[in-house]
Amino acid sequence: MKKIFSVDPWKVTEMDMHPQDNRLAESVMSIGNGHMGMRGNFEEDYSGDSLQGTYIGGVYYPDKTRVGWWKIGYPEYYAKVLNAPNFIGIRTAVDGVNVDLAQWDVENFERSLDMRRSCLQRSFTLVDNSGRRIDVAVTRFLSRSRREVGAIRYAFTPKDHRADILFTPYLDGDVYNEDANYGEQFWSHVSQSADSSTSCLTMETKKTAFVVSTAMRWSLDGADPDRTDAGEKQSYVENQVQCRAEPGQTVTLTKYAAVTTSRDWPSTETEAMAVQRVNEAYEAGWDSLFDEHCRAWKQIWTEGDVVIEGDDEAQQGVRFNILQLQHTYTGEDPRLNIGPKGFTGEKYGGSTYWDTEAYCLPFYMSTMDHSIARNLLLYRYNHLEKAIENASKLGCEGALYPMVTMNGEECHNEWEITFEEIHRNAAISYAIFNYVRYTKDKQYLADYGYEVLLETSRYWADRVSYQPRKDVYMILGVTGPNEYENNINNNWYTNTMAAWNLEYALEVRSYLRQHHPERLREIEAKRNLHEQEPEQWQVIRDKMYKPFIEEHGVFAQQDLFMDKEQLTVDQLDPDDLPLNQNWSWDRILRSVFIKQADVLQGLFFLNDRFDQQTKQRNFDFYEPRTVHESSLSPCVYSIIAGEIGRTDKAYELYLRTARLDLDNYNNDTEDGLHITSMAGSWMSIVYGFGGLRVCDDQLHLNPFKPAAWERYAFKLVFRGHLLRVEIAEGKAKVTQEGGKPVDIVFLGKTVSVPADETLEVDLH
């Protein structure tokens, strides 16, 4: 496996230029601040291969669906996260020759993501046709403390000659998406202005009418400008700053930028607010802006870092993933969610999948204030009526949450996903259960949760098929979490989670009847629930068919799984991997090979319902058949492996999920990072190696230490308590920072952790 990044606990560095892997490096070097983000593109011109990408949270375009054969129920559009106006551009010319990194000789190139401070840095030496050299150093960040602001510091130092330098910072709205279904540009020009100090460009999305204003301002240090000018054309504005540098003299252009949108301001005010924000940034200056940004990130790492000693690859991997999760979602805007690519690429379009509830919620729930996780649930509650519409379009009652969405509408147009991957509904319901179990915020059930559970239960009750010959309920024509099987019957995970969804809805209904009877009556009147419906939910739950393979003592992934040729991954030619890039879809669907955790996903979700032997048998049967070609897969297997004592396998799978993008395991990172699965590396440590579970209304920790590590530590926010867990050779410690005494189950024993004290326990 080709590796182009160095290993360092706090940095990811690309040593030397890799033109053939530039898109990969651009993905890995992405930065963001929750409001916006961008790929690690170059500021100067680059005529080589590149995917230019700047993205703004919640700004999208409904690109008309493109399919060969229209099917009833298809969504009208596929939502696209838009490549937004480019504000990082700084065209540069030296002695009248434009700098293009694909055309100039470049020495000592280094592109580095500083994870501690969340900034992108580059340094290199330009060599002109006469062999003269110029050192270049660039730093870029998107402010964590001022979410609409970003800044770039661009420094030139001629080493052996006097150089005339022309900096041209610009804003460019003439951008497009590579994944546009019909090659359409998604932006319309609104207005622009440019003078010698401050420029602004305002664009509007077609159809959705999001107005985005981008303003810039510059300063020059190390020399006085010989000439300044401004220029503009349709959807483009620039400044020109001419200066001269003597040998060894450093000249630095600082570019300040601000991005405001009509999501936050009236559309008539976005331009004025962008100019105000960029002027505020300019007045503050680079040092002050960067210092406050670094202080914000210091706080993030103080509260949410995972520390690993003795294994720099493992340490770098989990920090990289935590960094990119924080780049993508901060919880400040409840209208936003977590996209599979975040702000790092165009692929997968929509802002949220079921990944958020299944993978990301535990991370945010345990590392930040519980209001952040609540906002993720409210995002779905606020889309409940759209989920009901989605079910109706497919001819079903109740609510079917979308596979891909921006505003609650389904906007995914692959039939095996849109119509069949209905297990996503149970992930929404499970997230409610998981949140309430962890936080004890039962008020959420009365305020919002039960309505979602009621309507998802209605969907399951309508979607099942009764089989009178066997007196069971079945779910036919589905795709389970394993997307390498389509249109199969009775996926064990889907059936099991549907039955669980019905059971939990009944349990919550009983709770509300006892503790919030008036609210229950209000909800059921609003939803026009008839008494026979919950009675039917119970019948379906009791009679749900769950396929089983007697000869192996394991749950059958689906009815006909054993009719396939029972090969294992070690029997594959390594050149065939990844299968989705080397095999036809027909061959994949007929094979036994599993893309991602399916049965194991259910064992993880409903963990306390299955004994160790059951988990062991299913792991041993399914893991050898799993190719882990979904980024969501290795972490689940890692967690179960740790639980059943397969610690070496747990560590191997942890490294795969932690370094999925850094090592480009699935050969697809050039499209963008796998943001939602990044939470899986955190779960592999905290739920896997740390053994976190919540059962019997208590926090359980049953940690072990991977053999490759000397020590590791992580923090948890649990019901108002901040706990630090540390595991070293032979010892495990739990420290509470502040708070009040809290009881937890630690290595099988109930202990009380005092405020501001540490408990130390011998590992088994």
Residue 562 tokens read as: 């054993």
- The SS3 call for residue 180 is coil
Residue 751 tokens read as: 């202990």
Alpha helix positions (H), 329-383 = 355, 361-367, 370-381
| Number of Cα atoms under 13 Å in the Cβ half of residue 186 | 27
Within 10 angstroms of residue 220's Cβ, the number of other Cβ atoms is 16
719 Rama sector, left if φ>0, alpha if ψ -120 to 50, beta otherwise = left
* CA-wise closest residue to 71 among 375, 373, 416: 416
Going by the DSSP 8-state scheme, the letter that residue 684 receives in this structure is I
CA distances from 87 to 53, 60, 291, 568 (A): 10, 18, 22, 49
* CA-wise closest residue to 374 among 328, 425, 436, 322: 436
Residue 397 tokens read as: 């009652």
Contact 497/433 with Cβ under 8 angstroms? no
- The SS3 call for residue 696 is coil
Which of 483, 485, 623, 629 is an active site residue? 483
Residue 136 tokens read as: 């270049």
Q: How far apart are CA 640 and CA 203, in angstroms?
A: 49
Q: How far apart are CA 751 and CA 759, in angstroms?
A: 9
Q: How far apart are CA 542 and CA 537, in angstroms?
A: 9
Q: Provide φ and ψ at 358, rounded to 5°.
A: -80, -30
- 37 CB contacts (<8 Å, ≥6 apart)? 30, 31, 54, 55, 142, 327, 328, 342, 343, 344
Max CA separation in the chain (angstroms): 90
Contact 714/307 with Cβ under 8 angstroms? yes
Q: How far apart are CA 13 and CA 662, in angstroms?
A: 10
Beta bridge partners of residue 751, listed in sequence order: 744
Q: How far apart are CA 487 and CA 489, in angstroms?
A: 7
Whether 483 sits among the annotated catalytic residues: the reply is yes
As to burial, measured by CB atoms within 10 angstroms (0-12 exposed, 13-18 middle, 19+ buried), residue 145 is: middle
Contact 456/429 with Cβ under 8 angstroms? yes
What is the set of active-site residues? 483
